[in-house]
A and B are shown apart, each in its own frame.
Chain A
Amino acid sequence: MTSRDTILASLRQNRPPAPEAVRPPSDYGITYPDKQARLAEALLPAGGELIPCSRAELAERVRAAWPEAKKIFAPSLPELHNVPMPEAGIDPKIYDNLDLCLIEGRFAVAENAAVWIPHEDGKHRSAPFLATNLALIVPDGQILDNMHQAMARIAASPLPEAGAFIAGPSKTADIEQCLVIGAHGPCMMRLFLVK
């Protein structure tokens, strides 16, 4: 018998009785009268900052936020992008030491400031994690209240090969519970909410 079959047989033999199935109703979870205000509030303890702006002024605002940034990955803003474009077969390591990665998120979640970033084609999965600074872009109409809405939204569309909720810059408190912003990923993160 294979290990797979051994495990399945053991699970079947030890199966507990069926409990009553519980699931939250479709409109479940906390909601916020002013989602944008809550998003800004939740982003602060996560170590990020919310910047509302118009699509037209986005490039300028990003530039102003990181005037020192030289190596910039921003496929959706060609006027800023100055590293090789992500394409099939590209070595993910070339994005090491990016000064800035700018990436479009699908939606943000007000309860916890998480932004959903689907990695559609795997070409630039590494960029948002290798960059020193991270700019996430979300349309201002795309703020959900909570994670129930977020997961329902993800489940309703074709699944990307991978994706990540990102809430703020990378961080750690593994040394005496002291919060340090900038562990292995970005040391600074700003969320641009575009009109």
Chain B
Amino acid sequence: MGHAEAATKFNLDAERTGWHDKALWFVRAKRDKAAASIPEWEQLRTLAEGIKAETLNRLPELLEQFEAACTRNGVKVHFAVDAKEHNAIVLGLLQKAGAKKVVKSKSMLTEECGLNPVLYKNNIEVVDTDLGERIVQLRHEPPSHIVLPAIHTKREEIAELFAKELGTDPANADPTYLTRAARGDIRKRFLEADAGITGVNFAIAETGGIVICTNEGNADLGTSLPKLHIACMGLEKFLPKLEDLGVFTRLLARSATGQNITTYTSLFHKPRPGAEMHIVIVDNGRSAMMGREEYRKSLGCIRCGACMNTCPVYRRSGGHSYGSVIPGPIGSVLSPGMDPAAHSSLPFASTLCGSCTDVCPVKINLHEQLLAWRGDLAKAGHVHIAKRLALKAASKVLSNTTLYRIAAKALRLTPGVLMRNKTLNPWERSRDLPPVPPKTFRQLWKERKPQS
């Protein structure tokens, strides 16, 4: 199913679509307020863009520098070419430590690699500890947003879920009550865990440090209790220097949720005495993406989700309609890079309004990349023949004055019943075309008296 079909299904529930749209717009509005409170906001974006560009250029050296620093710090670094190797490394580390119970704090990379099913199959219990991730884990579905994983669920649905899973009162859908119930359940799991798996927000090449940002404190509990910490990261997460965090910590939370900073911004350099710390660095298509000039900037993404919150298509179609681990505008440029055939509909899930580009804290030219993907996917034969022919016809008509005039006249002469037929004209399904004005612009122009 492509994005359009999945979105159509989502849109069948108009009330829910409106609710989803508003919930995300609320987050977008908070982002605007936070950005406006910093006079140097636009400069910060330019700095972040520049630092990420420098990072990509120096990535091989930064990686080596990071590895050397980690080794000095007593942290073991592993490299995985793809998802399969990543999962094998993590599983191997857990098995070697005899770990049976694992707590995981939010990591989109482990979602991308499909780690959980591999661990389940090997009789390792893994609990996602971020509340939103826990909700979707218990619902047996993927996150629908990279920062707000359960943004598509309503409190009543969570009350029902927790009643079944945690024994709470099914009639009580109070968010504080539900959050406390999850806290109690997950606290026990933190204390029993043999290992903690985390994602990584930033990795500092110079010092061998990793930075994890959360609001719930789950990454801190997951790393301060068990004796084994495995951090999983994509190889694009590097920053050259510790000072660069000044720029990025100012941008991340403000762009993501409109907070001035996340509650916890935790910096890890060494394992606790008597504990082990491992970092798994994953390529999985990233180094190949770096070779594609028009798309490489997407590797600067810091996973704030601002492009999703602002996207009129994401807000009205929901994250699951994208069918990719990362939805929204950034997912629609990253996913076709991994598997063009599977994600060929995503670059079309955009109005190309450019709002994503405007809010992106590292200035990724998202709408331009979406347009570029459309061309590349069509060239590679991944675009449906009907769409290809229609666009070919449109390009002929729009680039030829005579053809354009004939077509415009024909359209004006088409009876309204046909134009407004909801089967023949899909645009009419949820909107009404305005009445056709009696005269065309050209006619009005001709009638205008020449100016004195």
Interface residues of A (CB under 8 A from B): 2-4, 6-8, 10-24, 28-30, 42, 45-46, 88-89, 92-93, 96, 109, 111-114, 121-123, 125-126, 128-130, 146-152, 154-155, 159-178, 180, 182-186
Q: Are B288 and A10 closer than 8 Å at their CB atoms?
A: yes
Indicate if the CB atoms of A174 and B150 lie closer than 8 Å: yes
Contact among A16, A21, A174 with B50 in the assembled complex (CB-CB below 8 Å): A21
A159 touches B175 (CB 8 A): no
Interface pair B63/A11, CB less than 8 Å apart: yes
Decide if B334 is an interface residue (CB 8 Å cutoff). Answer: no
A45 to B34, CA, bound (A): 12
CB contact between A167 and one of B60, B132, B242, B262 (< 8 Å): that residue: B262
Asked if B225 contacts A93 (CB within 8 A), the reply is yes
Query: In the complex, which of the residues A8, A148, A176, A185 contacts B23, with contact meaning CB atoms closer than 8 Å?
Result: A176
Q: A112-B260, A185-B216 are in contact. List 6 more A-B contacts (CB 8 A).
A: A125-B272, A126-B224, A160-B269, A175-B150, A175-B158, A184-B129
Interfacial chain B residues near A89, Cβ < 8 Å:
273-274
Q: Are B148 and A174 in contact (CB under 8 A)?
A: yes
Is A170 within 8 A of B263, CB to CB?
yes
Query: 1/0 per residue B149-168: CB within 8 Å of A?
Result: 11100110010000000000
Whether the Cβ atoms of B243 and A165 lie closer than 8 Å is: no
B283 & A7 in contact (Cβ 8 Å cutoff)? yes
User: Which of B57, B221, B260, B269 makes the CB contact (< 8 A) with A159?
Assistant: B269
Q: A170-B216, A183-B216, A183-B217 are in contact. Are A147 and B263 (CB under 8 A)?
A: no
Tell me the smallest distance from the CB of B75 to a CB of chain A, in Å: 10
Q: Which residues of the partner chain A approach B241 to less than 8 Å between Cβ atoms?
A: 155
Residue among A88, A112, A168, A178 having the largest count of chain B Cβ atoms under 10 Å = A112
Please state if A7 and B224 are interface contacts (CB–CB under 8 Å): no
Per-residue interface assignment for chain B, residues 49 to 61, with 1 indicating a CB less than 8 Å from any chain A CB and 0 otherwise: 0110110111110
CB-contact partner of B175 in A13, A128, A176, under 8 A: A176
A84 to B78, CA, bound (A): 37
Chain A contacts for B223, CB-based, 8 A = 125, 162
Chain A residues, CB < 8 A from B207: 159
Asked, given contacts A3-B79, A164-B220, A178-B175, whether A96 binds B191 with beta carbons under 8 Å apart, the answer is yes
> Judging by beta carbons under 8 Å apart, are A16 and B180 in contact?
no
Cβ contact of B273, chosen from A15, A121, A168, cutoff 8 A: A121
B261 touches A (CB below 8 Å): yes
Interface contacts (Cβ under 8 Å), in number, total: 260
With a cutoff of 8 Å between Cβ atoms, the chain B residues found around residue A125 in the complex are 220, 223-224, 272
Closest to A189 in B: B263
Q: Tell whether B270 is near chain A: CB-to-CB under 8 Å.
A: yes
In the complex, what residue of chain B is closest to A178 when comparing beta carbons?
B175
Sorting the interface of chain B by its residue count into under 10, 10 to 19, 20 to 34 or 35 or more gives: 35 or more
Known interface pairs A7-B79, A11-B63, A16-B293; A182-B183 also in contact (CB < 8 Å): yes
Q: Which residue of B lies closest to A181 (CB)?
A: B176
Minimum CB–CB distance from B29 to chain A (whole Å) comes to 11
Q: Of B81, B261, B293, which one neighbours A114 at CB under 8 angstroms?
A: B261
* Interface contact A174-B221, CB-CB below 8 Å: no
A180 touches B175 (CB 8 A): yes
Pick from A6, A93, A123, A146: contact of B246, CB below 8 A.
A146
- The interface-forming segment of B39-47, B111-119, B348-356, B406-414 is B39-47
B81 and A7 contacting across the interface, CB-CB below 8 Å? yes
- In chain B, positions 69-86 with a C-beta closer than 8 Å to chain A are 73, 79-81, 85
Q: Is the CB of A15 within 8 A of B290?
A: yes
Interchain nearest-CB distance for A93 vs B (Å) = 5
User: Within the assembled complex, what's the spacing in Å between the Cα atoms of A190 and B178?
Assistant: 25
Nearest-neighbour CB distance to chain B for A53, whole angstroms, equals 24
Known contacts A162-B269, A183-B131; is-contact A30 B263 (Cβ 8 Å): no
Chain A residue nearest to B245 (CB atoms) is A151
Interchain CA distance A10-B63 in the complex, whole Å: 13
CA distance A180 to B178 in the complex (A): 10
B297 to chain A, nearest CB (A): 9
A148 to B154, CA, bound (A): 39
Q: Which of B244-260 contact A (CB under 8 A)?
A: 244-247, 249-250, 257, 259-260
B80 touches A3 (CB 8 A): yes
Contacting pair B296 A16 (CB below 8 A): yes
| A160 / chain B contacts, CB cutoff of 8 Å | 269
Of all chain B residues, the one with the shortest Cβ separation from A149 is: B246
